[in-house]
Amino acid sequence: SHASEARAPDAMQAIADALPAVGIVACVLGIIVTMGHIGGAASEIGMAIGNALVGTFLGVMVAYVVVNPVVKALQLRNGSASQYLSCIRNAIECGARGEPPMNAVEFARRNIDPELRPTFSEVNKAVKERGKVK
């Protein structure tokens, strides 16, 4: 259903919010491994510190570069679908109340995003052209 699809971005946002913490945990574990190499060669210690930092970097990068853009895209898609359904719902509700068809069209038109909304005269012209008998 539309409502269950609208919750998907929230679940993915929770994952995106948790990924930097996973990176920090990876860093801490890397530092613990580094402590085991304290008596070793400098190259071993450097490699272990590098691995720890890569864990942090990956957690932050995956969260902000991969998951967050997907979440934003899903939110935009769901917003458009919700607005579309709301527009249809308003037209149906007006018709059910016995409003004239042009009023139903106007109430539906007002529900469209202002950037995409046609003017009243454009809608009126389209309705009149559609109503002509061929």
Three-state DSSP string of the chain: CHHHHHCHHHHHHHHHHHHHHHHHHHHHHHHHHHHHCCCCCHHHHHHHHHHHHHHHHHHHHHHHHHHHHHHHHHHHHHHHHHHHHHHHHHHHHHHHCCCCHHHHHHHHHHCCCCCCCCCHHHHHHHHHHHCCCC
pTM to 2 decimal places:
0.59
d(CA 49, CA 115): 51
Confidence band (pLDDT; 50, 70, 90) for 131?
Answer: confident
CA neighbours closer than 13 Å in the CB half-sphere of residue 11? 5
Q: Is the pLDDT of residue 111 over 90?
A: no
What pLDDT is attached to residue 105? 85
Q: What is the pLDDT of residues 38-88, one digit of tens each?
A: 888 998 899 999 999 998 999 999 999 999 999 999 888 877 777 888 888
For the chain, the structural domain boundaries read 2-130
Other beta carbons within 10 angstroms of residue 129's beta carbon come to 8
Mean pLDDT calculated for residue range 130-134: 64
Confidence band (pLDDT; 50, 70, 90) for 6?
Answer: confident
Confidence band (pLDDT; 50, 70, 90) for 2?
Answer: low
Other beta carbons within 10 angstroms of residue 51's beta carbon come to 16
